[in-house]
A = this chain, B = another copy of it.
Amino acid sequence: MAAGERSRATLNAVARQANVSRQTVSNVINFPERVSEETRLRVLAAIEDLGYRPHRAARQLRTSRSQVIGLRVWPPGDGLSGVVLDHFLHSLTASAEQHDHHVMLFTAADDEAEMAAYADLTATVGVDAFVLTHTHHDDQRIRWLAEHRLPFATFGRPWGSQVSYPWVDVDGAAGTRLATEHLLRRGHQVIGFVGWPPGSGVGEDRRAGWLSTLDSAGIGHRPEAAVFDGAEGGRVAAARLLDGDHPPTAFVCASDSLAVGVVTELRERGRHPGADASVIGFDDTPAAGVLGLSSIAQPIAEVAAECVRHLRAVLDGETPTPLSSLLPPRLVLRQT
């Protein structure tokens, strides 16, 4: 195998030669205690044989930079919400280029596979840093990156993480607060919330802004319904609230998909969204524009620019100041 080829040996190649999964190779490198001695030796032999250089390359890249930022992409979803992350991907590419950085994409089936990809991409393609999305409680990826001292920033809050790291997020509660205040000013007395089942940090954040605004205004009726995301969920939730004791005249929704379902249910009952009922979605997806749906827009271009600012500071060996950015969304009013 030629020298030029050796440096390109990938985690895939090592896994194939050792007849183990990519995850096992990653474990041998990063968590050797998880792997049997026999497997460990077989994998190390393949690493040696193929010239795979995970740690050395990663170290090397931190001193001589490739200017490449890795970003995991998810499979295109069924609903509308994936487009927010696609918008982010476009903005991150543009922001990175302003500072001579480029974005490289990768896929991963789950967080474990994502960590295996970090090891692989730093070693073989020379990715310098990562931007993470979909942060969640007990996020192993953050611990992994911190332990391996790989530069990263997240679009998404720590949600309880003990590690201190640079993050950027959008203040969802501020968004639903804007929406709820707007509806109160328009004279609505019963404002419902259509959200997701408990357990999602993003969902609880969006619900909190609606609830605290009604609290402050001294509004006692707070009808809400939690359903899985999607127009059908939104329709079911709206029907439940409209058939309840305190039918809302306005709805704040945790997503545009839910809001589309609410609009559909209102129309089927002969009500005209925008005239005798109000509906506000979240994320200002392209579909909201096409359908005339009012929505809360995340400042995605600013999120991307902040991520790049944070990463550049980390790559220069500095601590970003401030270490985190919680950006305000804005309310986009349309027909509904």
- Interface positions of A (Cβ within 8 A of B): 4-5, 8, 10, 12-13, 63-68, 73-80, 82-83, 86-87, 89-91, 93-94, 97, 100, 102-107, 121, 125, 230-231, 257, 260, 285-287, 289-292
Q: For residue A83, which residues in chain B have a CB less than 8 angstroms away from its CB?
A: 76, 83, 86, 286
Q: Is the CB of A289 within 8 A of B76?
A: no
With A78-B289, A79-B290 given, name 20 new contacts (CB 8 A): A8-B65, A8-B67, A10-B100, A12-B100, A13-B100, A66-B125, A68-B104, A73-B93, A75-B90, A76-B91, A80-B287, A86-B86, A97-B106, A97-B107, A102-B104, A104-B105, A231-B291, A231-B292, A285-B287, A287-B291
Question: How many copies of this chain does one complex carry?
Answer: 2
CB distance from A189 to the nearest CB of B (A): 29
Q: Is the CB of A106 within 8 A of B102?
A: yes
Q: For residue A105, which residues in chain B have a CB less than 8 angstroms away from its CB?
A: 89, 93, 102-105
A96 to B, closest residue via Cβ:
B105
Per a CB cutoff under 8 Å, which of B10, B76, B286 touches A287? B286
Q: Is the CB of B64 within 8 A of A4?
A: yes
Query: CA separation between A12 and B90, bound complex, in Å?
Result: 20
Query: CA separation between A10 and B100, bound complex, in Å?
Result: 8
Q: For residue A257, which residues in chain B have a CB less than 8 angstroms away from its CB?
A: 290
Q: For residue A103, which residues in chain B have a CB less than 8 angstroms away from its CB?
A: 104-105
- Of A5, A10, A104, chain B has the most CB atoms within 10 Å of the CB of A104
CB distance from A198 to the nearest CB of B (A): 24
Q: Is the CB of B89 within 8 A of A73?
A: yes
Q: Is the CB of A76 within 8 A of B80?
A: no
Q: Is the CB of A76 within 8 A of B86?
A: yes
Q: For residue A231, which residues in chain B have a CB less than 8 angstroms away from its CB?
A: 290-292
A290 to B, closest residue via Cβ:
B231
